[in-house]
Amino acid sequence: MKSQYDILIIGGGPAGAIAAKTAKEKGLEVGLVEKRPAIGAPVRCAEGIGKKLLADFIRPDERWIAAEIERATIIAPDGTTMELAHEMAGSEVGYILDRKVFDRELIWQAADAGAEIFVKTRAIAPILEEGKVIGAKIEAGGDVTEVKADVVIAADGVESKFGKWCGIDTTVPMREMETCAQYVLADINVPQNVTQFYLGNETAPEGYVWVFPKGKRAANVGIGISGKKSGPGHRAIDYLNSFVRKHFPEGKPIELIVGGVSVCKPLECTVSDNLMFIGDAARVSDPLTGGGIYNALYTGKLAVDVASKAIANGDTGKKALMEYDRGWRSSALGKALERNHKIKEIFITLSDEKLNSIVRSISKINMKEFDTFTLIKELIRVNPKLSLELGALWASIR
């Protein structure tokens, strides 16, 4: 490992990997450290992503596509279902990935482009000079070395600590941290081209259960619930077990994962002097769905586009890097995050009766395109009883 890079990246998930690849393509010297011994494992993800979203970053490859999805089904607490065809179902349909292979492919592409990748190697502290980050202390096999960089990129995921060590408040409020549990269930009958989302305060308080097919009579069956709803006897895994007993009693769990998803607003500012935050570390996962793979890729690439210009100009101060923060906030992604946070804040207040009547109403609406504004307008029209909640939502996202 060199003692100086143009860019030092902390974390080898999708955000870090695409940042490393982009940096190398721009002719920069880049080092990436990943604390785990293997990239892509263990998987902490339901692995759903929209086809179109992915197309900007990587060519589809059957090695990491576990299933192709044509539509999504939303199931209300009373069992009412609504179907979203592919064009309307948004970014959560398209592919179910095999992230063990997908993440490895992304990092392989970065390595192939010339990025230096170090596994089982962790950042343990920033190196600060006059309060500004100029690198990181890196630990591997018990040895600690100092690595300096013009720009340090924190891509250390939802449990990100690097920002805190630099004195930046990156705390996610407990109520906005979804605690998740997921089985890969084998030997079950699920349609292989449909994702299913189960709603309800008994099923998944302030969250939802997902059933994402993984091919060969298997599926990711998982749940996210608000951290504040979790406690002894009613943790995410308890809700998940009771869901599985009811819906897939014959299922055979072949993998269990637990993890967290932040559903808060993004960091107030995603740059500082010589420092940038990308992906989950920037808190840019979708507050409504919890999806964050695309967001990680988008912010990872954009960050390096901006950093490379700043490095070329010899000024990597906060002001120069702000173009990145402004860039993603004003993009379609940034606007969706803002809107979906507001929608989520209303969604979590809805009783089962209201969820039932919303799903019932939506299932009657004939929309050519799934569009939030049309949806809310239609819902108010067909369901005056909900006008209080929906009117507030409409006003807040207009």
Q: How far is Cα 383 from Cα 374, in angstroms, rounded to an integer?
A: 14
Cα first-last separation, the chain:
50
Query: Is residue 283 left, alpha or beta, with left meaning phi > 0 and alpha meaning psi from -120 to 50?
Result: left
Of the candidates 226, 223, 180, the one whose C-alpha atom is nearest the C-alpha of residue 344 is 226
C-alpha to C-alpha distance for 325 and 299, rounded to whole angstroms: 9
Residue whose entry in the numeric block shows the structure tokens 């189960």: 198
Give CA–CA dist 217/214, Å, rounded.
Answer: 7
**39 vs 310, beta carbon nearer ligand FAD:** 39
Among 24, 4, 9, residue whose Cα is nearest residue 121 = 9
Of residues 153, 164, 165, the one with CA closest to residue 278: 153
Q: Do 45 and 293 form a contact (C-beta atoms < 8 A)?
A: yes
Please list, in sequence order, all residues whose beta carbon lies within 8 angstroms of the beta carbon of residue 108, skipping any fewer than 6 positions away. none
Considering the complex, state which of residue 180 and residue 204 has its C-beta at the smaller distance from ligand FAD: 180
Comparing CB distances to ligand FAD, the nearer of 140 and 365 is 140
Instruction: Look up tokens 């943790």; give the residue.
Output: 235
Q: Which one, 34 or 325, has the nearer CB to ligand FAD?
A: 34
Identify residue 171 by its one-letter amino acid code. Answer: T
Q: How far is the CB of 242 from ligand FAD (least distance, A)?
A: 18
**C-beta of 257 vs 346, nearer to ligand FAD:** 257
Which among 178, 181, 199, 185 is positioned nearest to 239, based on CA atoms? 181
Pairing of strands 65-68, 208-213: unpaired
CB 4 → ligand FAD: shortest distance, Å? 18
> Which is nearer to ligand FAD, 76 or 180 (by Cβ)?
180
Structure tokens at 36: 């785990």
| Residue 281 vs 355, nearer CB to ligand FAD | 281
The binding site for ligand FAD (CB under 6 A) comprises 10-16, 33-36, 44-49, 122-123, 155-158, 180, 182, 222, 259-261, 279-281, 285, 290-293, 296
DSSP secondary structure string, 199-247?
--TTTSTTSEEEEEE-SSSEEEEEEEEEGGG--TT-SHHHHHHHHHHHH
Residue with token string 């343990």: 124
Report, in Å, the least distance between residue 205 CB and ligand FAD.
16
* Minimal distance, residue 397 CB to ligand FAD, in Å: 22
Q: Given the complex with ligand FAD, which of 44 and 377 has the nearer CB atom? A: 44
* Euclidean distance between CA atoms 54 and 62, whole angstroms: 14
By beta-carbon proximity to ligand FAD, the closer residue of 276 and 390 is 276
